[in-house]
Amino acid sequence: MTRPTVAEAGDRVGLDGAMLSGFKNFVLRGNVVDLAVAVVIGAAFTTVVNSFVDSFLTPLIALISGGGTLGGEWYIGKQHFTWGAFLSAVIGFLITATVVYFLVVLPMHRLLDRLATGKEPGPVAPTDVELLVEIRDLLRAQQGLAPSAPDSGRHTPPAR
């Protein structure tokens, strides 16, 4: 029994040029890349918050609740309740949620509100004349001619 080659396996699964092109377009869209960056930054920020919780909040809660080995913990019968660790996790979540709200959500809402009311100007598209001047200059550059001065008026074609 022989194993199929990569090309044969790709044919059976439908890995043709259109599928790979569609995947490439999906991945290279701006919002997918932004989402990937957000996940990486979020993971790094979560690590910082967890370190803060583990290094400072949990010992502080243990100290406030009586310290020692049983600080932030209860034993009822043979059941062990670590309410200090839970409280630390809740505080860590609140810190993360607060930072995300004030540094991401609130500024984004303000920007969207400005765009909706017209206070924040959107991107300005070039005028027809600006586009035509740019096309003219590109054509002149392709022909090996110097770009014309901005106020030179009409263009005369080169002599042949």
The tokens for 19 are: 């599928």
Report pLDDT digits (tens) over 22-46: 777 766 666 766 777 778 888 888 8
For domain 9-142, the CATH superfamily is Large-conductance mechanosensitive channel, MscL; domain 1 (1.10.1200.120)
Please report, for residues 30, 39, 73, 80, the alpha-carbon distance to residue 25 in angstroms, rounded to integers and kept in the order given: 10, 20, 52, 52
- Give Cβ neighbours of residue 114 (< 8 Å, ≥ 6 apart): 120
CB atoms within 10 A of CB 92: 19
pLDDT at 53: 84
Report pLDDT digits (tens) over 122-154: 677 888 888 888 898 888 888 888 777 665 555
Whether residue 3 has pLDDT greater than 80: no
Global confidence as pTM = 0.46
| CA gap 45, 40 in Å, rounded | 9
The tokens for 83 are: 């309410």
Compare 37 and 6 and report the one with higher pLDDT. 37
Residue ranges per structural domain of the chain: 9-142
Report pLDDT digits (tens) over 53-89: 888 887 888 788 776 555 677 788 888 788 888 888 8
**∠ CA 59-80-55 to the nearest 5 degrees?**
15
126: alpha, beta or left, given left = phi > 0 and alpha = psi -120 to 50?
Answer: beta
Most confident of 6-20, 107-121, 129-143: 129-143
Task: Give the pLDDT band of residue 93 (cuts 50, 70, 90).
Answer: confident
Whether residue 96 has pLDDT greater than 70: yes
Closest listed residue to residue 88, CA positions, set 60, 69, 47, 48: 60
Compare 13 and 105 and report the one with higher pLDDT. 105
Please report, for residues 21, 144, 148, 155, the alpha-carbon distance to residue 136 in angstroms, rounded to integers and kept in the order given: 33, 12, 9, 9
